[in-house]
Structure 1
């Protein structure tokens, strides 16, 4: 596990700037490998197309993830402290208890295999 960092990657910067429309347009054209271990604290990420992406070890503290579909997204090791999750889908490998623990205390998500 690594600590999240601010990166200069263009796709990562689109999310940091909350340019979700630009991110969704560019995500299939650019390298997505720099999205993991990212610092997304306090960002409004609603409407983000997260399908198939790797957000492992990322921080989403106070982020608005409302309605995001993470069902095919790698969130292992991510932290959700105080994030907004209304209507958010999560991978089946993450239990509701695990999500609640991360939301309430900031623990990192652990997949049940």
Structure 2
């Protein structure tokens, strides 16, 4: 597993600068963001719309993810949410509560349930 990346993607840079609303507007207008494996450590991402975004292998250590609906993101496989604020967040059904809790408390990379339950 590679280390988290601080990407040069212009949309990712908006998130690093705290411009979540601008990011959402640009993605809604059709721009494509490459966020796989990105470092979101300590970032406030409240209000982020993640529909159809691929967040696989992303690193959300101690990020503020409160209220984000991850159910329609393309993937959170391999992401880590160690110490993140997740109150009110929705996660994909393919991620078990145990996977989410292990990632939150121990920093493990989340794995999707292959049975589809």
How many angstroms apart in 2 are the aligned matches of 1:70 and 1:64? 13
Residue 63 of structure 2 is matched in structure 1 by: 63
TM-score scaled to structure 1, two decimals? 0.95
Q: CA RMSD in A?
A: 0.9
Residue 87 of structure 2 is matched in structure 1 by: 86
Residue 113 of structure 2 is matched in structure 1 by: 112
Q: CA offsets per residue over residues 52-99 of structure 1, 9 Å max, x none?
A: 110000100000000000002110000000000000000000011110
Query: Where does structure 2 lack aligned partners over 5 or more consecutive residues?
Result: none
CA deviation after TM superposition for structure 1 residue 15, in Å: 1.0
Report how many aligned residue pairs link the two structures: 112
Residue 72 of structure 1 is matched in structure 2 by: 72
How many angstroms apart in 2 are the aligned matches of 1:2 and 1:26? 28
CA deviation after TM superposition for structure 1 residue 8, in Å: 1.2
How many angstroms apart in 2 are the aligned matches of 1:2 and 1:89? 26
Displacement over 2 Å in runs of 4+: none
- Bigger shift: residues 10-19 or 87-96: 10-19
CA contact (8 A) 1:18 1:44 kept: yes
State the secondary structure of the residue aligned to 1:99: helix
Residue 45 of structure 1 is matched in structure 2 by: 45
State the secondary structure of the residue aligned to 2:15: helix
